[in-house]
Amino acid sequence: MREAYSLAVDARDQRFDGVFFVGITTTHIYCRPCCPSRLAHDQHRRFFDSAAAAEQAGFRPCLRCRPELAPGRTAFAALSRLAQVASERIASGALNGHTVADLAAELGVSERHLRRALEREVSVSPLELAQTHRLLLAKRLIVDTDLPMTRVAYASGFQSLRRFNAVFRAQYRMPPSALRRGRRARAAESLRLTLSYRRPALIPGLPLEGKVAIDGHSGVVSVRNSAAAAHLVVDIAESLLPVLMPLIAGLRRVFDLDAEPAVIDGHLSANGLGDLVERWPGVRVVGSLERLEGAQPDDFQSTDKALLARAEQWRPWRAYAAQLLELRRRDPAPDMPPPPPRTGVPAR
Ligand SMILES: [Zn+2]
């Protein structure tokens, strides 16, 4: 694995963006594999499966490649269903103002079981994972918006400005305001963020504008694609600021932004669908803005019960499931690859 990751860093391979992070032991900075900075010598590299693991090991996010912008990882066979669901819930802000015990109860497991599953599979505790999500969201809001620091703190899930300042300084060894020095002011009224994805990506149905409602907060969100930059540009009504974390997680899910197209397309090709992959590399199946709240699965349009059951097993790789299952139905030739292992976590 180390060798593959090293080669990916040497090649600045975009396919691995967000799949792992590389920490530079001489500077204690961690980067995306595609970072444009000068390459560190191989012996000074440390590889991490997640930003949270890198931060936990004392590394700070690179200011140039900005690890907070990397696409997420839809854990494939590697994570148990519990670790996967818990990670997704934490990314949606489940631990902002709530305890690990609350989340465990919601998932129907003991707190100890939940903590152990995450520590074993993601190498960080639930609280550490939540803290990294908060810090990285705060970091991007500081750099990409003109929101006052108090609003940055609350929008990223901190319960007070004082706590935000303390955690930020402790982890990044600088005050939050240091990230704004020398930066041009932006249009104050709009909250514009980018959500990156891995290439290749065919994302139908954009641009799109719609009203979304999460936890009693509602407002208009407009989404367009910037294919050249491999990200969506999202304009968010300020009324949605209190639910920014679940909103971002929901948008990533609805637009299938964490998909790993190289892996998906490889599987599809290996199953005799190479022609289709060639025609539509990285095709995503977009969900609906109305189903943004929580982690509800999007509808998979089918009346075939067996097909629905299989689509469910393939979540969150919705694009994969939809393509494979729909195509298989038309042409039920070779066997499907086995679905990822499941644990006893109740369906969302
Ligand atoms: Zn970097």
- Is the domain of 50 the same as that of 85? no
The reported pLDDT for the residue numbered 256 is: 84
Residue 44 Cα to ligand 1 middle (Å): 14
Give helix then strand counts, H and E, for the chain: 13, 8
Residue 31 Cα to ligand 1 middle (Å): 4
How far apart, in whole angstroms, are the C-alpha atoms of residue 230 and residue 252?
A: 13
Give the H/E segment covering residue 170.
helix 161-172
Residue 184 Cα to ligand 1 middle (Å): 22
The reported pLDDT for the residue numbered 297 is: 46
CATH of the domain at 115: 1.10.10.60
Query: How many structural domains comprise the chain?
Result: 3
Residue 222 Cα to ligand 1 middle (Å): 29
CATH of the domain at 8: 3.40.10.10
Mean pLDDT in consecutive groups of 10 residues from the start of the chain, 348 residues: 89 90 96 90 93 95 94 70 88 95 96 96 94 96 93 96 97 94 68 93 88 92 95 95 93 86 79 77 78 57 67 58 62 46 34
The reported pLDDT for the residue numbered 268 is: 75
Residue 63 Cα to ligand 1 middle (Å): 7
Query: Which of 198, 294, 206 shows the shortest CA–CA distance to 245?
Result: 294
How far apart, in whole angstroms, are the C-alpha atoms of residue 5 and residue 164?
A: 33
Residue 199 Cα to ligand 1 middle (Å): 19
Looking at residue 248, its amino acid is I
Q: Show the tokens assigned to 171.
A: 């982890």
Residue 67 Cα to ligand 1 middle (Å): 7
Instruction: Domain of residue 204: give its range.
Output: 191-240
The reported pLDDT for the residue numbered 273 is: 74
- Is the domain of 154 the same as that of 175? yes
The reported pLDDT for the residue numbered 341 is: 38
Residues with CB under 5 A from ligand 1 (ion): 31, 35, 37, 62, 64-65
Q: Show the tokens assigned to 41.
A: 């010598």
- Its pTM stands at 0.85
Outline where DSSP puts E strands in the chain.
21-24, 29-31, 45-48, 60-61, 191-196, 208-214, 217-226, 231-236
Q: Show the tokens assigned to 308.
A: 């629905």
| 151 falls within a domain | yes
How far apart, in whole angstroms, are the C-alpha atoms of residue 59 and residue 51?
A: 9
Residue 38 Cα to ligand 1 middle (Å): 9
| 306 falls within a domain | no
